[in-house]
Amino acid sequence: MPHLLHIDSSIQGERSISRGLSALAADVWRTAHPGGTVTYRDLGRDPLPHLDHETFGARTVPPAEHTPAQAESWALSQRVVEEVARADTILLGMPLYNFNAPSSVKAWVDHLVTAGLSYDPATRAGLLTGRELIVLASRGGGYGPGTPREGWDHAAPWLPHSLEVTGLTPRFITAELTLAESKPEMAELIPLAAESLAAARREIGELWAPVSVSA
């Protein structure tokens, strides 16, 4: 039975563009996979704890020697990895905050990238290969080629690099210029923002469309 892991990270609630895109993608997935099951994690409302000095020790000493805090952190990392391992498809709603991913996504990645759980420490082989990871991204400005802030989106290059060891390869679907309607200085960009959002929604709608085979 196909299984979906749906993750959101925006702190904007119902105003969030990335939440709207990830919800649309989840609906499209359900339609394409009747009978499939879904696990939902909301990093924006219930963030994972960041790793600290104490919990980092959980990754450097044998489990039998863990302190209570280390054991708790290790168990949490196991749950995070198991959620991904059970899924055929992972949807990650991810806005751009201060030119990077939300810190809650960084914490999720830090728990996910754990030796012995998501990759083999001896061979560096990823243990989560074969899964579809789709990132539903939103960014308030425009950071594409030729724009004044080209390259200022540091989340898009960071996430593939950080997850490479696990075997996961993200595919990005991005709506940009999402602040155009709320910032007077961006008013002239409203049509481009609407076009970008519409294009993202169309791409989502085609994610699991049946592939026609010609005779």
**Rounded-to-integer distance, Cα 161 and Cα 157, Å:** 7
Domains of the chain: 3-205 (3.40.50.360)
| Two tokens, residue 103 | 């810190």
Percent of the chain with pLDDT over 70: 98
pLDDT digits (tens, 9 = 90+) for 190-206: 999 999 999 999 999 99
pLDDT band at residue 211 under the 50/70/90 scheme: low
pLDDT band at residue 209 under the 50/70/90 scheme: confident
**Helix, strand, or coil (residue 9):** coil
**Rounded-to-integer distance, Cα 194 and Cα 200, Å:** 10
Q: Which of 107, 9, 117 is nearest to 55 (CA)?
A: 107
Q: Which of 48, 53, 47 is nearest to 70 (CA)?
A: 53
**Rounded-to-integer distance, Cα 166 and Cα 113, Å:** 7
Distances (CA, A) of 160 to 16, 17, 23, 76, 134: 23, 22, 22, 23, 11
pLDDT digits (tens, 9 = 90+) for 99-111: 999 999 999 999 9
The DSSP call for residue 180 is T
Question: Taking 90 as the threshold, does the pLDDT of residue 207 lie above it?
Answer: yes
The average pLDDT across 66-91 equals 96
Q: Which of 105, 91, 111 is nearest to 166 (CA)?
A: 111
Whether the model pTM is above 0.75 = yes
